[in-house]
Amino acid sequence: MKTFRSIFRPVVTALCAAGLFASSAIAGPRQAAEGEYVVAAADCYAIGQQVADQHGGTLAKASESNQGGQSVCVIVVLVPAKDGQRPRRVQVVVPAN
């Protein structure tokens, strides 16, 4: 029984490491049709932070979308309300440049 454990642990560890390596290799950057790499998620987050600052709220969501063939960022900001009411939800669509 101890022999089985001594063999089983390194095998499981090696399989887990191989799985992590394979998943990170597969989940690499996507290549766009024109040959440019898509990094819009990070850009949309940065744009979302700027929009949240302009509206005086907090960034709730920043995601990339395709509308009319154009790549856009859909930004959702929660703006605090007055007199203890619920915050307002403001959705802004901006070009992902």
- The token duo for 16 is 């887990």
Residue 35: pLDDT over 50 = no
Give the mean pLDDT of 56-65.
Answer: 94
Burial of 63 (0-12, 13-18, 19+ CB in 10 A): middle
pTM: predicted TM-score of the whole model, two decimal places: 0.56
